[in-house]
């Protein structure tokens, strides 16, 4: 009996756009995409996104209600926590550490954690913990369910970027790498190795950055800060440097950052994943940068 084809859509909600990538696991291909600008400024992220998503849903055909969606990094708490090896169950410690980072009660948050073995020491284990406000998840899932979609997984946008990077650049699995996701008003920097999130940060900046050189200086300061706390991983020969996001799809901004480190390339979400959507040149370069998170989310739904 022939089985019905599967489709999974990744939905990335950023402050200034929403992107969708609809993926077919059977064909290992992205079959359709959409990018919708978010123009509202008077309301919060989810209210603005809901208004624009209504228009997007009318124009985009979902072949399946199954979706994976993201919460932007800046809407979550992301923290490495050490626990002594002798501690059999680290959950109580992790919950206490997270509670020190929040305003309000830990009961208002949902959290998860996993061991980050690369950061383990002889006497301690390292755990990467993530906490989201319950209200954030409720608002996001309620919006999607209101359009008859099934948000089976909610993930962080930075984890989706690591996912799409790992799948498209397997030769960098053992190379310490930095992914820079540059948008109009903020830039996220991720330090990753072997598919793990080692460190990172989110820096806000003006939408009216005057020059690529000014931007590269801001980014360089944050990268130096991150690497200074992770020098155990930077002694290895070479560091990968990859760019995504609407700002870094502009060649002059990408070139300014790359010039500091003598390397750097645009992260292509379609290097190992086929894209059956037309487009070429600078337009496709910009679209691919805005779709990296969405593709990573769709691939996450197939794990």
Task: Could you please state the CATH topology (level 3) that the domain comprising 75-134 is classified under.
Answer: Dna Ligase; domain 1 (3.30.1490)
**In a 3-state reduction of DSSP, which class is residue 178?**
strand
- Burial tier of 290 (Cβ tally within 10 Å: 0-12, 13-18, 19+): buried
Thinking of the domain 158-300, which architecture would CATH place it in? 2-Layer Sandwich (3.30)
Domain boundaries for CATH 3.30.1490 within the chain: 75-134
DSSP state of 193: E
Looking at CATH, the fold of the domain delimited by 8-73+138-156 is given as Nucleotidyltransferase; domain 5 (3.30.420)
Nearest-angstrom CA–CA distance, 72 and 155: 9
Q: From first to last of the 303 residues of the chain, give the pLDDT tens digit.
A: 456 678 999 999 988 889 999 999 999 999 999 999 887 665 677 777 888 888 888 889 999 999 999 999 999 999 999 999 878 789 999 999 999 988 888 999 999 999 999 899 888 999 999 999 999 999 999 999 999 999 999 999 999 999 999 999 999 999 999 999 999 889 999 999 999 999 999 999 877 677 999 999 999 999 999 999 988 787 655 789 999 998 999 999 999 999 998 899 999 999 999 999 876 555 677 789 999 999 999 999 987
DSSP state of 194: T
Secondary structure class of 143 (helix, strand, coil): helix
Q: Are the CB atoms for 160 and 73 separated by under 8 Å?
A: no
Whether this model's pTM surpasses 0.75: yes
- The beta strand positions in the chain, using DSSP E, are 8-13, 17-24, 29-37, 66-71, 76-84, 109-115, 124-133, 150-156, 177-182, 186-193, 196-204, 240-244, 265-266, 274-275
Residue intervals of the chain classified under CATH 3.30.420.40 are 8-73+138-156, 158-300
């Amino acid at each position: 009996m022939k089985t019905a084809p599967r489709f999974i859509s990744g939905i990335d909600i950023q402050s200034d756009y929403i992107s969708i990538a609809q993926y077919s696991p059977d064909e290992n291909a992205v079959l359709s995409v959409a990018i919708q600008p978010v123009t509202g400024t008077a309301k919060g992220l989810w209210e603005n996104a809901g208004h624009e998503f209504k228009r997007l849903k009318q124009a985009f055909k979902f072949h399946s209600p199954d979706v994976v969606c993201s919460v932007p990094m800046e809407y979550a708490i992301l923290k490495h926590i050490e626990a002594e090896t002798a501690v059999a169950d680290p959950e109580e410690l992790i919950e206490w550490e997270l509670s020190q980072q929040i305003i309000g009660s830990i009961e208002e948050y949902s959290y998860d954690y996993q061991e980050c073995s690369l950061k383990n020491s002889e006497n301690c284990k390292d755990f990467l913990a993530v906490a989201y406000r319950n209200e954030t998840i409720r608002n996001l899932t309620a919006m999607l369910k209101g359009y008859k979609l099934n948000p089976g997984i909610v993930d962080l946008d930075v984890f989706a970027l690591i996912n799409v990077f790992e799948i498209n650049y397997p030769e960098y699995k053992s190379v310490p790498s930095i992914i820079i996701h540059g948008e109009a008003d903020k830039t996220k920097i991720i330090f990753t190795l072997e598919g793990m999130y080692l460190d990172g940060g989110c820096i806000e900046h003006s939408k009216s950055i005057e020059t690529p050189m000014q931007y590269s200086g801001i980014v360089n300061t944050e990268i130096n800060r991150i690497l200074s706390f992770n020098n155990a991983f930077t002694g290895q020969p070479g560091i990968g440097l990859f760019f995504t996001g609407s700002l870094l799809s502009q060649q002059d901004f990408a070139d300014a950052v790359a010039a500091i480190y003598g390397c750097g390339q645009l992260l292509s979400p379609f290097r190992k994943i086929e894209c059956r959507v037309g487009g070429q040149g600078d337009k496709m370069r910009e679209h691919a940068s805005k779709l990296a998170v969405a593709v990573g989310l769709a691939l996450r739904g197939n794990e």
